[in-house]
Structure 1
C-alpha cells in the first residue's frame, strides 16, 4: 500500500518498519538541511546581482538604539558587500517572508560567505547545519562593539574547529573574547582585565510580542544589573502586598505581574497607595487630587455578535497595536483598574464610498482606510496601518485640473491603500505596482512578474513556482 503525503510527488511505503521510518526521517532532515544551505547560496547570489545604485540605497536594519533617534545598521558586517535595499522585497515575497526576515537571510548568507568562510564551506559541504551557522552569523553581525573582519575570522576559526557545535552561551563568550583580543572595546579602568566575558554587556529587556496567549498576555524577559534586578524585585513584592491589602484575591504571581504594569505606568502605583487617604493634593491635576497617570492609547475593535457566535472564553475583539486578540473582560478590567479615559468613536462603514476634492486626504477617509486595511497592504507586511502612509494607488495628477483633463488618481476610497514608508518608497521608485480589485483587496505585481493578492485575510501568491526543465545545479562548495 502506498500512502501519498501532503507534498505532491512524495510517496512513503505505509508498511515501513521502525528502522525504515527512522532512516527515512534522517534522509528527509538531510534534504531539509541541503535545501537550507542552497537557499543561503541563492540569497548570496541574489545580493551579488543587486549592488546599491544611485536611487537604491544600501539595505539596513533600523533600530531605536540611538539616543532620541533611530540607528541604521548594515545587514552584514564590515567587509561584506552592500545590497540594494529594494531588491530585498522581491526575494522576500517569493519566499513568503517579511522584509526583515529577507534582510536577515541575505545578511547571514553574506556574513558566512565573506567573514566566516570556514563555516560557510562546512555548511555547503553538509558538515554543519545551516541553522547553527546562521546563529553564529547573527552574533557576529550584531556584536557590540562591531567586529572587524579579523575579529570575525577568529570566531570563525574557533567555531569551525568544533564543526559548529556551540551553544548560545559559548558563542557569547567567543564573541566577547574576540572583542578583547582585538581591543575593540574602549578601555574601562574599572573592568577586570582577566574577565573577557564581561566586556560584552548582556543587559536587555525583550517583549515577545509575536507570541500572545489566548488570555491576552505577553511574555517579557530581561537581564538587569544585579542592583537593578533586586530593586525591581522589591518593588514588585511591595506592589503585590499592597494589592492584597487593598482586597485583591489574585495569586501572588498575578499580583506581581500587575505590579509590574503599575510600575510601567509610573503613577498608578501612587494611585493605589493613596486611595482612600490624601485628597486634594497641591499640584495634582486629577479630580481626586492625584497626579495624572501617563497616557497609554490603545485601539480596540469589537463587533456585535450573538451569544452563539462568541468564542469559548468570552467575547473577543482585535487590538490594533500588534494586531492581537483582546478579550472584552480584559478591556473592562483595564477601564476599572485605574482612572482610565475611554473614548468611543462613531462606527465607520468600511464599505461606504468616500471621496474628497484635491490631493489631501481628510481624517474621515484616512480613518476608514486604516480600519479597513489594518496593516500595510504590501504582501506579507504586518506594520499597523495607523503608522502607515495612505497612498493613492493610481497616482494623483496635480496638473490634470489645470490642463482640463479628468483626474486619473482621485482621492477616494477605491483608490487608496495603507503602505508603510518602506513599501511606499518601493512602489514609487521601482517597477513594483498594484491595483485595486475590490474593497480592501489589492493585486501586486513584482518587477519579475510575480503576482500576489493581498486582502483582509492575508497574502496569496497567484503564480505557481516556475518549473525549470531540469533541477538547478547548486554547487556544493563555494569559495568566498
Structure 2
C-alpha cells in the first residue's frame, strides 16, 4: 500500500492545516529569537556605553562591564553568564553588522538557522558595502532554500566578495584553534577539536587507518581506558575501534613535536576526580558514581579508578540530608581545603559549573578587612567570577551552611546553595544496609 493513497479528503485537509500552522509557529519562533537578539545586543551596547563613561576607558573596563551585564541576564534566566556573554556578542554581530539579515529573520522571511549560517559565512567581510551586497543576495537565496544549501552558497558568495586571500584568512582562523569537552548522558562525553583542516583530516585518516589495521588482526590488549582492542571478531564497529584508538593515543602517547629534551610532557598523566558512594563501591548501591562532580559513570569504571588510586578522600555525609559532615584522607593534607572542595564541588556563582578544583578559594569577607579563614567565610570562585566579585557592583554574602547570597547591580538577590552530595540517603523505615 502506498503511503497516503488511502487518505480521506478530510485527512488530507487536516494535514494541510497542520502544515500551515507549523509554518506559522516556526516563523513566530524566528521572530521571537530575533527580538531576543535585539535585547541582547542592547545589553551589550549598555555595557560598552557604561564602560566608556569612566574616566579612563579601556578594553579591560568594557570586558568587565560585559561580564557584569551578562551575569545580570544569566542569573535572572538561570543560564551561565559565560553562555549569555557569547550570545550577547553573537547578537551584537548580527544586529549591527548584518541588519538586513536580522530584519529578515524578525519578519519571518528566514529562520534563525538561516541567519546564523549567513552570519558565520560572512563574518570576515569587513567592508560595509560588500557585506550589505552579501546580505541582500543571501536573504533572497534563503527565502526558498534549506539552511544546509544556504550554507554552501553563503561560503561561495562570501569568498568571492572577500578581498583578502585565503592564506591571510586562514592565518587569522588558526588563532581560534582549540579543544573543548561536552558532557553527555549515560557516562559519556565528547572531545571536540577545532584546528587546521589539513591536520584534523590527517589525524582522522590516521586513526581510521589504525582502526582498520586493528580489525584485520592483532593481539588482544587492554586499553588505557578499559576497552579491548585487536581481534577482528571482538564485535566492535569501525567507529568504536576508531574511538578506542584515539583515546589510547591521547591518554598514553607523547607529543613528540612539543616535548622538551627531558620528556617533561610525556611524563604528565591524566587526572580525574571520582565521587562514589561506599555502597556503590561495594557493588550494592543504587546511586551511580560521578566523574569530576558532573558526569555519572558506570560502577566498573569507578571501582577500577578507586582501586588504582594512590590515595582518596573520604567524605562523611549525613545519612538523611547528605550534607557534608567531615572529610578525611588516608594520606591527610589541608583538611579545610578538602572540606570546602567536597562541599562546594563547583564555582559558587549562580549558574556556573566550573569544578572546584579549577577555582580560587576566596574569602567572602576580605581577609585584609578582618574576614576569617574558615568554612563560613570561604568559597570556591572560578577566576571569571572572582574578578566579577571584586571589580564590578556584584556583591556576595555568606549566609552560613555553605549558602551564598549574590546581589546583582540592579538589586536582584540570587541564592546559591551547596550542590547535593553524591551519596545515598536513608529514612528510618529503610532496612540496615549491612
Q: CA deviation at 1:386?
A: 0.9
Inter-partner Cα distance in structure 1 for 2:400 and 2:393: 22
TM-score (norm 2): 0.69
Q: Does structure 2 retain, via aligned residues, the 8 Å contact 1:91–1:102? A: yes
Inter-partner Cα distance in structure 2 for 1:228 and 1:255: 15
The aligned length equals: 366
Where 1:128 maps in the other structure, the secondary structure is coil
Q: CA deviation at 1:454?
A: 1.5
Does the alignment pair 1:317 with 2:289?
yes
Spell out, residue by residue over 1:339-360, the C-alpha distance to the aligned partner (whole angstroms, 9 max, x if none): xx52222324574589xxxxxx
Q: Indicate the residue corresponding to 1:160 in structure 2.
A: 139
Match of 2:43 among 41, 46, 50: 46
Q: CA deviation at 1:41?
A: 1.6
Q: Does structure 1 retain, via aligned residues, the 8 Å contact 2:347–2:381? A: yes
Where 1:49 maps in the other structure, the secondary structure is helix
Q: Does structure 2 retain, via aligned residues, the 8 Å contact 1:266–1:294? A: no
Q: Indicate the residue corresponding to 1:108 in structure 2.
A: 90
Does the alignment pair 1:369 with 2:340?
yes
Does the alignment pair 1:99 with 2:81?
yes
Spell out, residue by residue over 1:62-119, the C-alpha distance to the aligned partner (whole angstroms, 9 max, x if none): xxxxxxxxxxxx99xxxxxx97342221122222221232123222222122211211
Q: Indicate the residue corresponding to 1:234 in structure 2.
A: 209
Match of 2:104 among 119, 122, 129: 122
Q: Indicate the residue corresponding to 1:302 in structure 2.
A: 276
TM-score (norm 1): 0.63
Q: Does structure 2 retain, via aligned residues, the 8 Å contact 1:118–1:157? A: yes
Higher RCO (C-alpha 8 Å, min separation 6)? 2
Q: Which has the higher helix share?
A: 2
Q: Does structure 2 retain, via aligned residues, the 8 Å contact 1:265–1:293? A: no
Q: Indicate the residue corresponding to 1:346 in structure 2.
A: 313
Where 2:31 maps in the other structure, the secondary structure is helix
Change (3 A) 1:256 1:383: same
Spell out, residue by residue over 1:114-168, the C-alpha distance to the aligned partner (whole angstroms, 9 max, x if none): 2112112212333233343234334544x5xx75545543432232222465535
Q: CA deviation at 1:26?
A: 5.6
Spell out, residue by residue over 1:207-254, the C-alpha distance to the aligned partner (whole angstroms, 9 max, x if none): 6613x2314454768865555433222223334543547886742334
Change (3 A) 1:252 1:22: closer
Change (3 A) 1:238 1:217: farther
Q: CA deviation at 1:310?
A: 3.4
Root mean square deviation, CA, Å: 4.3
Q: Does structure 1 retain, via aligned residues, the 8 Å contact 2:403–2:415? A: yes
Q: CA deviation at 1:183?
A: 2.7
Does the alignment pair 1:84 with 2:66?
yes
Inter-partner Cα distance in structure 1 for 2:347 and 2:156: 39
Inter-partner Cα distance in structure 1 for 2:251 and 2:379: 35
Q: CA deviation at 1:411?
A: 0.8
After superposition, residues 177-196 of structure 1 pair within 5 angstroms as 177-185=157-165
Where 1:184 maps in the other structure, the secondary structure is coil
Q: CA deviation at 1:419?
A: 0.9
| Deviating more after overlay: 169-178 vs 152-161 | 169-178
Inter-partner Cα distance in structure 1 for 2:167 and 2:230: 53
Inter-partner Cα distance in structure 1 for 2:291 and 2:35: 39
Change (3 A) 1:392 1:169: farther
Q: CA deviation at 1:293?
A: 6.6
Inter-partner Cα distance in structure 1 for 2:148 and 2:253: 38
| Deviating more after overlay: 225-234 vs 372-381 | 225-234
